[in-house]
């Protein structure tokens, strides 16, 4: 009789958290207007997920943030994980990056204002910082009016995306996907 395979760690990240896994893990999070970014290097066997709540850290404050305060911000999280992958010896062109979330989950508020929504600002910050850092986004599922639940397998780099019902109860016709 063979021994059962050891259980793979299964971690749920909350808003404003990030995690870098050096062993196979499942990283999960729930996204509305927040943005989740996955980083994966097959060669290093490393995967990471960040769950940014707000687009940009206040100017001048990012340098003073502790590891517990900075991950609330999309820009800080991406730059922090970029440095972590640099320290592991990863080249930017070998790190697979995927972006999720940034939905306008409260459409009534977003439709009444000419100002961009938090979801839109988070999507914009993620795209700009990833480009500045030299990462190519290989897949994304962003925007819309529905939140998402994602499950990231750090062994394979695959991300399962489950789209949640819209606040008004009407779906937008999207299906769940594996990216």
Q: How confident is the model at residue 119 (pLDDT cuts 50, 70, 90)?
A: very high
Helix ranges, 28-88 (H): 74-87
Query: pTM of the full predicted structure?
Result: 0.87
Is 2 part of any domain? no
Report the number of distinct structural domains present in the chain: 1
Residue 158 is assigned to a structural domain of this protein: yes
Helix count and strand count (H, E) for the chain: 3, 10
- What percentage of residues in the chain have a pLDDT greater than 70? 83
Residue 76 lies in a domain: yes
- CATH number for 116: 3.30.1330.200
By the 8 A CB rule, do 49 and 27 touch? yes
The answer to whether residue 3 sits within a structural domain is no
Instruction: Band the pLDDT of 168: cuts 50, 70, 90.
Output: low
CB 57 within 8 A of CB 70: yes
> Residue 129 falls within a domain, yes or no?
yes
| CA gap 137, 35 in Å, rounded | 14
Contact 41, 94 (CB under 8 A): yes
pLDDT at 28 over 60: yes
| Per-residue confidence (pLDDT) for residue 170, from 0 to 100 | 47
Task: Name the residue range of residue 84's domain.
Answer: 10-169
Residue 6 confidence (pLDDT): 72
**Residue 142 reports pLDDT greater than 90:** yes
């Amino acid at each position: 009789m063979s021994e059962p395979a050891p259980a793979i760690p299964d971690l749920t990240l909350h808003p404003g958290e990030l995690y870098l896994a050096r062993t196979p893990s499942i990283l999960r999070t729930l996204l509305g207007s927040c943005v989740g970014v996955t980083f994966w290097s097959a060669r290093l066997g490393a995967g990471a997920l960040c769950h940014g709540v707000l687009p940009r850290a206040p100017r001048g404050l990012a340098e003073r943030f502790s590891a517990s305060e900075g991950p609330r911000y999309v820009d800080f999280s991406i730059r922090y994980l970029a440095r972590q992958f640099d320290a592991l010896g990863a080249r930017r062109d070998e790190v697979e990056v995927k972006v999720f979330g940034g939905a306008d989950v409260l459409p009534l508020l977003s439709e009444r204002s000419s100002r961009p929504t938090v979801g839109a600002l988070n999507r914009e910050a993620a795209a700009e910082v990833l480009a500045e850092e030299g990462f190519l986004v290989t897949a994304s599922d962003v925007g819309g009016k529905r939140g998402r639940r994602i499950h990231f397998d750090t062994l394979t780099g695959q991300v399962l995306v489950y789209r949640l019902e819209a606040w008004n109860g009407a779906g937008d016709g999207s299906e769940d996907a594996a990216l």
